[in-house]
Amino acid sequence: AFHFSVLLKLYIHYFFSGKILEKLGLCSQLGFTRYMRQGKKLGEDPKLFIKDLQFGKVPVRIYQPRAPSAGRRRGVIYFHGGGWMFGSINSYEPICRYIARESESVVVSVEYRLAPEHTYPAQYEDCLTSTTHFMKTAEDYGVDPACIIISGDSAGGNLAAAVCQTLVGRPDLPKVHAQVLIYPCLQAIDFNLPSYQQNCAVPILFRERTAFYVLQYLKGDASFLEDVLEGCHMPVDVKLKFRKWLSADNIPKEFKVRGYKPKVPIQSSNEVYEAVKKICEPTFSPLLTEDAVVRQLPESFILTCEYDVLRDDALLYKKRLEDGGVPVTWYHIENGFHGIISLFDKGRLSFPAGKKGLDNIVNFLRSL
């Protein structure tokens, strides 16, 4: 309870401080939030070589274990979270260092472009560009090209899933060995799934902010926010088309006991649908890809948190993967919330469950 109240106070402090500074004309709320969350590059690491590079035109930071290796190592591409608007290779430095050290892997952290200055598909394209570059040059970094894992959290989990699906159709590249999806956002059609209803006001990711981030990523502004939240941004026939994959009926009953009220489908206006219809593209909403693609996806690790609006996106994708014959390792943090992994090293704000979740990711990587 102490941790949760502190997190909520910090969220409110950042949100309203940014609002005040924006009204005073000192800086934008977006700029203030980015500044507060940007992190800093840490000093040297006795166990890692760390170098900033460019893969294509995309900035990356690569972490290579200093210890000698008998053979080529596994390579891990990491796409950071932050609602496609925030986050950086600096803010994710502690996580990437930890994964590189503990799993003895070469980790590549990607600095993709951010919304609203850059909208979809810029972020996806940067992640795809950096991944294909790494796959083609893996041996230059002591990495086995046949053992590359694509990973990410939150918005980065969305990008990881989308890139992984795209690479299924690239016979000119090595097959992706595995994917690691940490509380990913995987669709933007239904914001009334059980997890959205149950956790709508749970920090650090509120239901309304999730839709806000989605729209900023899609088109650089939050117009039609209420339509998206109410579910009247998609025609009923479109919803019915995806119902076999995107339905609360596919979510286990134990995840509905905290409350769930099915929402009656509402017809959309053509204006709203035309403005947001790219939401249906699999590169935006990976949950909606075809079965033929799902069946070709690699072994997967999925982490979910009980108190997270995005929980059910991941549960639905887990079912699709399993139905398609893809091996899935699932780790659920019963007392976890969105963003808990990023707090693993934050002292009084850290949670033992977050560290345990991160260690489960490491153990999965080491098993590959």
Residues 299, 77: Cα–Cα separation, whole Å: 15
Four-CA torsion 177, 111, 118, 164, nearest 10 degrees: 0
Length of the chain: 368
Determine the 3-state secondary structure of 216 from DSSP. helix
Residues with a known catalytic role: 154, 308, 338
Q: Which helix (H) or strand (E) holds 195?
A: helix 194-198
Give 143's strand partners.
Answer: 73
Residues 34, 121: Cα–Cα separation, whole Å: 21
- Which residue from 115, 112, 84 is spatially nearest to 205, judged by alpha carbons? 84
CB count within 10 Å of CB 140 equals 8
Cis check: omega of the bond before 77, within 30 degrees of 0? no
